[in-house]
Amino acid sequence: MELNTRGRYAVMAMADLAKQESSAATSLSAIAARQNLPAAYLEQLFLKLRRAGLVESVRGRHGGYRLGRPAHDISVAEVMLAVEEETRMTSCLGEGSAGCRGKEKCLTHALWHALGQHIRGFLGNVSLQEVLDGIPAAARGAPSAPATREISVE
């Protein structure tokens, strides 16, 4: 799975906004400059983020945006959902829809669907604050050893 720019840019911009840690508004041009993102694209994303209640807009000379809630109360999944970023691993549009390959699901559909669910769960459990502080080891999950089979030679 590869995230498109909507999701990546939205999470980067929201993390930047969270890092400012002030009640003062931050302009999109400042976020764009710090994160090397196109300001015009951020404007489109922030309209969606504002509609979702994740950011508040401030008008005036020192206007811009600030978080709508504390960073520890905003999950990465909420940000991605607000900008309509999906975490599907299959080309199917849902469980009840046509399959990956026309009318049938591909042989590995269940595997990719389960992986997508794990990704959604992971992103739902990571807050913007954790993005700034570093993802805790428990949230990352311990890497498991590859499955091995003992082979006996007789």
List, in order, residues 6 or more apart from 112 with CB less than 8 Å away. Answer: 89, 90
- CATH classification of 5-134, choosing from 3.40.190.10, 1.20.1600.10, 1.10.10.10, 2.60.40.3620? 1.10.10.10
Q: Does residue 115 come out as left (phi exceeding 0), alpha (psi in the -120 to 50 range) or beta?
A: alpha
pLDDT tens across 3-16, in order? 688 999 999 999 99
pLDDT tens across 56-72, in order? 999 988 889 999 999 99
- Rounded Cα distance between 54 and 52, Å, is 6
What ranges do the domains of the chain cover?
Answer: 5-134
In terms of Cα–Cα distance, which of 121, 33, 14, 17 is closest to 77? 121
Q: What is the mean pLDDT of the chain?
A: 83
pLDDT tens across 116-128, in order? 888 889 999 999 9
Q: How far are the Cα atoms of 2, 10, 50, 142 from residue 55, in angstroms, in the given order? A: 26, 11, 5, 33
Q: Structure pTM?
A: 0.79
Q: Which residues of the chain have pLDDT under 50?
A: 142, 145
Residue labelled with tokens 């469980």? 95
